[in-house]
Structure 1
Amino acid sequence: MVSVFFRGSSDHHQQHNPTSSEEDRSAASSSSASHSVPASISQSWNYDVFLSFRGDDTRKSFVDHLYTALEQRGIYTYKDDETLPRGERIGPALLKAIQESRIALVVFSENYADSSWCLDELAHIMECVDTREQIVIPIFYHVDPSDVRKQNGKYGKAFRKHKRENKHKVGSWRKALEKAGNLSGWVIDENK
């Protein structure tokens, strides 16, 4: 199980979790994975965490468990099928949610790179690292981090397809994968 804790909490977060106690926030503050965010930026966060994942691979398994664990800890998490208002256009709503999230948890699964949607999300997330000082934590779920970083294995196969279909985006996607693949994160492989 992956545990993620945060120092402090945004006002918006407190409105959505009226039952979370000061004691829970205090326990979260003492964890080893805390990050400091400048006050001018932290005031604009509407979510603690944005989950980026390939739905076909992980939605009904790992990501559902991760989302539940985060919510139970009082961590306000954006997960598209839980948080996206019905009737709202998906693309603009997701990009806005990414910008409004303090941390992005990116679950790299075997087929993540097959999805141009996931790669667009990742490119936007990595842009927010530079423009909004967003924190990105990669989770390599049954994937070798070097395959993400170098686009080898299934990631390489996906990019051969993307070169034919999405030529104009391939460069930014490669840079985003390389940058995210170089970040410290968690490697989860239940078979080992």
Structure 2
Amino acid sequence: MDRKILPPQHQVFINFRGDELRKNFISHLVEALQRNEINVFTDKKEQKGENISNLFKRIEESKIAVAVFSKRYTESKWCLDELVKMKECADLGNLKMTY
């Protein structure tokens, strides 16, 4: 099966909190986007407690950011910091955001 080579940058950054979302809704969302040849970035490979600057860089490289809110979303400083960065990039016209 011939597959198009996707551009190296992440086109969609997904911001969410919790394994319950990661293993259900988010995994289905990522699968659907990738099936349609859309690059996706989630923090799957990021170490908890590591420097968040790598995630900020991924947000800046993205064309679209999706924030998936859940009950415990606001308990995560990382999620809130990412959301602020997403809003800053959107305000500059560099990113489209969906909630």
Once the two structures are superposed, the pairs formed by residues 43-122 of structure 1 within 5 Å of their partners are 46-81=9-44, 89-122=50-83
Judging by fraction of residues, say which structure has more helix: 1
TM-score norm. by structure 1 comes to: 0.45
Once the two structures are superposed, the pairs formed by residues 1-192 of structure 1 within 5 Å of their partners are 19-20=3-4, 46-81=9-44, 89-138=50-99
User: Residues 137 and 91 of structure 1: is their aligned pair in 2 closer, same or farther, counting only changes over 3 Å?
Assistant: same
* Shift of residue 105, structure 1, vs aligned partner: 0.8
RMSD: 2.2
* Shift of residue 46, structure 1, vs aligned partner: 1.9
Query: Which has the higher Rg, Structure 1 or Structure 2?
Result: 1
- Gap runs ≥5 in structure 1: 1-17, 22-44, 139-192
User: Residues 90 and 62 of structure 1: is their aligned pair in 2 closer, same or farther, counting only changes over 3 Å?
Assistant: farther
Partner deviation per Cα, 1:38-96 (whole Å, 9 max, x = no partner): xxxxxxx92110000002341111111111111111000111115x5x8xx54111010
Number of aligned residues: 94
- The higher relative CO (CA closer than 8 Å, separation ≥ 6) is in 2
Partner deviation per Cα, 1:140-180 (whole Å, 9 max, x = no partner): xxxxxxxxxxxxxxxxxxxxxxxxxxxxxxxxxxxxxxxxx
What is the rounded CA distance, in whole Å, between the counterparts of 2:35 and 2:9 in structure 1? Answer: 18
Q: What is the DSSP-based 3-state SS (H/G/I as helix, E as strand, rest coil) of the residue aligned with 1:50?
A: strand
Partner deviation per Cα, 1:90-134 (whole Å, 9 max, x = no partner): 411101000000000110111111111100000000000012431
Q: What is the DSSP-based 3-state SS (H/G/I as helix, E as strand, rest coil) of the residue aligned with 2:4?
A: coil
Q: What is the DSSP-based 3-state SS (H/G/I as helix, E as strand, rest coil) of the residue aligned with 1:104?
A: strand
What is the rounded CA distance, in whole Å, between the counterparts of 2:76 and 2:27 in structure 1? Answer: 19
- Gap runs ≥5 in structure 2: none
What is the rounded CA distance, in whole Å, between the counterparts of 2:15 and 2:52 in structure 1? Answer: 13
Give the ranges of 4+ consecutive aligned residues of structure 1 lying more than 3 Å apart after TM superposition. none
What is the rounded CA distance, in whole Å, between the counterparts of 1:51 and 1:90 in structure 2? Answer: 18
Q: What is the DSSP-based 3-state SS (H/G/I as helix, E as strand, rest coil) of the residue aligned with 1:120?
A: helix
